[in-house]
């Protein structure tokens, strides 16, 4: 009775906003519930929740069960909470890669993985590439930035040799888009190339040393399968690909117009050298073992209260998968992924509870989706965003939760991507209401905006934000930045990312509350979020 009275009052007086504001002020997240979810999701029994594993299936079932307990409507396949994502998993046969170069210095065999690394091919079980090679700068075509590495270059039927990454002069987020593997593959194919060799650079060595890439040799490559069973973004026109160490890369440039050293010197000066044909040919084979599997996204809806607005959705996402077992001789081999991303998933579940228990539901519907395959390349989010279980244009915004570091109480939040849309305003107000400030991105060079699940929604034109607790500490005796750095250096993607005393449950509670506030104001605002005028991502992806 109280609820309907409130709604009637709101409708008559047009005071729904203040009524809503009033009810939102009383909403308190429950730290004990977040801890309970996390305790389950990060348990050894779930074996690190690897995509496609039994442990991850159990995590998904747990999430679905929580959604059901909250009375949310299933938003997966066929009236269930699960959206099964069909996947192809490709394991490289580690003994199989054979790569020889033939050129002015005769025949040279390179050894895997000392000289180069490569992953399983999702397109071919036996991949064979041979041909002439052409150096093509970064392999980037970015008319918006006046850059075209293929201008005046003939790579038809040839293998392109590309610098890793992007020019340092590029703005970081746009640059991350243009410098991504999928964009480079697309442009290589558009120019007729048949294979792609990426070479390390001094900058790449600083950011991701060749040596650390060796940790991922055994990680299978995965792609989702479309309705015809074809792997998405498999790029079968490119017959084979590899990443060369600096030493190995130097051998490609024997007798070439420029040596690799000259090229690196140009990069140092901020120039991208123009491409040229190489005198070295490549012959490169490898074998991969394929397995088709599936793994669930878990989706649920809290229906909105407005007869019209309820057909639009504010989407909350968090990835439920992690990386499974570690290849280590240590006794504890399970990567529990407590922070990555049992935290985000637990906060998503608590946020769902806060919405479900509101006396007055928001106008728009809220869609909660725990996505799979994030660690394998944002696969579950990409699949959901491309094959959503609600109409694409009905999704007005995405709020993503990924690895909030909850080892201290932050006095601020960072909102990756908010600056591209009207979400900046929403997030800033919600943070303020929760007693937090909104800080600018402290790591712009990392382009984190393009590196978690929300970016797959961005690529479908949906304004999105990826919120994390900031580096400012509430407690003057705690150095937030140091705490943050400690987690990244010591525990990120390691078995020691597990539930322990370092978790600050007050931080978890506050983080759930601020996410709830953001969702609430997005769901109640009569205007849907919009991209900023002339925003690069808005222009590139708006439908």
Nearer to Zn ion, 50 or 340 (CB): 340
Helix (H, G, I), strand (E, B) or coil at 288: strand
Q: Which alpha helices (DSSP H) does 226-372 contain, by range? A: 246-252, 260-268, 343-356
CA distance 256 to 259: 6
Nearer to Zn ion, 194 or 467 (CB): 467
Nearer to Zn ion, 49 or 459 (CB): 49
Nearer to Zn ion, 340 or 498 (CB): 340
Least distance from Zn ion to the Cβ atom of residue 208, Å? 14
Number of residues that bind Zn ion (CB under 5 A): 1
Least distance from Zn ion to the Cβ atom of residue 43, Å? 18
Give me 433's structure tokens. Answer: 């209401």
List of residues 6+ apart from 272 with CB closer than 8 A = 137, 138, 147, 149, 163, 167, 266
Show contacts with Zn ion in window 340-399 (CB under 5 A). 340
Least distance from Zn ion to the Cβ atom of residue 324, Å? 11
Least distance from Zn ion to the Cβ atom of residue 452, Å? 9
Helix (H, G, I), strand (E, B) or coil at 75: coil
Percent helix, strand and coil across the chain, each to the nearest 5: 35, 25, 40
Least distance from Zn ion to the Cβ atom of residue 493, Å? 6
CA distance 434 to 149: 48
Work out the number of other CB atoms within 10 angstroms of the CB of residue 370: 32
Nearer to Zn ion, 340 or 441 (CB): 340
Site track for Zn ion across 44-63, x = CB under 5 A: --------------------
CA distance 194 to 236: 9
Least distance from Zn ion to the Cβ atom of residue 141, Å? 30
Pairing between β-strand 82-92 and β-strand 276-302 as defined by DSSP bridges:
antiparallel
Nearer to Zn ion, 87 or 396 (CB): 87
Assess 498 for contact with Zn ion (CB under 5 A). no
Least distance from Zn ion to the Cβ atom of residue 499, Å? 16
Least distance from Zn ion to the Cβ atom of residue 115, Å? 28
CA distance 211 to 415: 32
Least distance from Zn ion to the Cβ atom of residue 492, Å? 7
Residue 221 bridge partners (DSSP): 90
Helix (H, G, I), strand (E, B) or coil at 211: helix
Nearer to Zn ion, 123 or 381 (CB): 381
Nearer to Zn ion, 150 or 487 (CB): 487
Residue 467 bridge partners (DSSP): 415
Site track for Zn ion across 321-340, x = CB under 5 A: -------------------x
Query: Of all residues in this chain, which one has the CB nearest to Zn ion in the complex?
Result: 340
The DSSP H or E segment spanning 270 is none
Least distance from Zn ion to the Cβ atom of residue 42, Å? 13
Nearer to Zn ion, 68 or 488 (CB): 488
Nearer to Zn ion, 174 or 497 (CB): 497
Answer for the pair 130, 281: CB distance below 8 angstroms, yes or no.
Answer: yes
List of residues 6+ apart from 422 with CB closer than 8 A = 463, 527, 529, 530, 532
Show contacts with Zn ion in window 222-251 (CB under 5 A). none
Give φ, ψ of 75 to 5 degrees: -130, 30
CA distance 475 to 478: 5
Least distance from Zn ion to the Cβ atom of residue 381, Å? 13
Least distance from Zn ion to the Cβ atom of residue 337, Å? 7
Site track for Zn ion across 198-217, x = CB under 5 A: --------------------
List of residues 6+ apart from 454 with CB closer than 8 A = 317, 381, 398, 399, 400, 416, 417, 464, 465, 466
Nearer to Zn ion, 52 or 103 (CB): 52
b/e string for 8-32 if b means 16 or more Cβ within 10 A?
A: eebeeeeebeebbeeebeeeebebe
Residue tagged 């991208």 (tokens): 272
Answer for the pair 481, 487: CB distance below 8 angstroms, yes or no.
Answer: no
Least distance from Zn ion to the Cβ atom of residue 321, Å? 9
Nearer to Zn ion, 251 or 493 (CB): 493
Show contacts with Zn ion in window 160-179 (CB under 5 A). none
Answer for the pair 379, 224: CB distance below 8 angstroms, yes or no.
Answer: yes
Answer for the pair 223, 233: CB distance below 8 angstroms, yes or no.
Answer: yes
Nearer to Zn ion, 340 or 525 (CB): 340
List of residues 6+ apart from 225 with CB closer than 8 A = 86, 87, 88, 231, 232, 292
Helix (H, G, I), strand (E, B) or coil at 156: coil
Binding site for Zn ion (CB under 5 A): 340
């Amino acid at each position: 009775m109280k609820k309907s009275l409130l709604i009637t009052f709101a409708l008559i007086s047009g005071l729904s906003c203040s009524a809503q504001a009033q009810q939102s002020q009383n909403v308190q997240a429950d730290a004990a519930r977040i801890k309970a979810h996390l305790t389950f999701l990060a348990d050894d029994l779930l074996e690190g929740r690897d995509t496609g594993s039994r442990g991850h299936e159990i995590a998904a079932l747990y999430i679905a069960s929580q959604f059901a307990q909250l009375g949310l409507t299933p938003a997966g396949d066929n009236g269930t909470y699960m959206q099964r994502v069909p996947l192809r998993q490709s394991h490289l046969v580690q003994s199989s890669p054979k790569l020889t170069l033939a050129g002015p210095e005769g025949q040279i065999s390179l050894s895997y993985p000392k000289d180069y690394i490569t992953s399983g091919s999702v397109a071919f079980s036996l991949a064979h590439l041979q041909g002439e090679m052409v150096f093509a700068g970064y392999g980037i075509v970015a008319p918006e930035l006046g850059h075209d590495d293929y201008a005046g270059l003939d790579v038809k039927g040839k293998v392109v040799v590309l610098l890793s990454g992007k020019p340092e002069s590029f703005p970081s987020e746009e640059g991350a888009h243009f410098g991504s593997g999928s964009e480079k593959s697309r442009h290589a194919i558009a120019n007729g190339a048949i294979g792609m060799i990426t070479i390390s650079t001094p900058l790449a060595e600083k950011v991701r040393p060749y040596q650390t890439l060796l940790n991922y040799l055994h990680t299978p490559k995965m792609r989702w399968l479309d309705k015809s069973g074809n792997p998405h973004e498999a790029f079968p026109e490119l017959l084979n690909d590899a990443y060369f160490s600096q030493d190995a890369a130097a051998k490609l440039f024997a007798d070439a117009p420029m040596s690799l050293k000259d090229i690196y010197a140009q990069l140092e000066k901020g120039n991208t050298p123009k491409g040229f044909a190489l005198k070295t040919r490549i012959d490169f084979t490898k074998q991969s073992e394929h397995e088709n599997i599936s793994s669930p996204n878990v989706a649920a809806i809290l229906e909105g209260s407005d007869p019209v607005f309820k057909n639009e959705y504010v989407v909350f996402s968090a990835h439920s998968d992690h990386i499974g077992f570690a290849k280590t001789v240590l006794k504890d081999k399970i990567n529990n992924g407590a922070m990555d991303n049992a935290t985000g998933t637990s906060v998503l579940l608590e946020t769902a509870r806060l919405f479900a228990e509101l006396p007055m539901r928001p106008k728009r519907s809220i869609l909660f989706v725990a996505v799979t395959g994030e660690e394998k390349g944002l696969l579950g989010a990409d699949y959901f965003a491309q094959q959503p279980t609600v109409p694409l244009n009905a999704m007005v915004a995405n709020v993503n939760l990924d690895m909030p570091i909850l080892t201290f109480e932050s006095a601020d939040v960072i909102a990756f991507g908010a600056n591209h849309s009207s979400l900046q305003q929403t997030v800033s107000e919600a943070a303020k209401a929760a007693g937090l400030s909104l800080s600018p991105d402290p790591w712009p060079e990392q382009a984190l905006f393009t590196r978690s699940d929300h970016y797959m929604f961005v690529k479908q034109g949906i304004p999105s934000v990826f919120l994390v607790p900031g580096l400012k500490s509430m407690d003057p005796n705690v150095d937030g930045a140091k705490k943050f750095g400690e987690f990244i250096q010591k525990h990120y993607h390691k078995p020691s990312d597990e539930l322990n005393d370092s978790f600050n449950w007050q931080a978890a509670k506050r983080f759930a509350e601020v996410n709830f506030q953001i969702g609430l104001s997005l769901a109640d605002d009569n205007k849907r979020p919009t991209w900023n005028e002339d925003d690069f991502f808005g222009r590139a992806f708006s439908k």
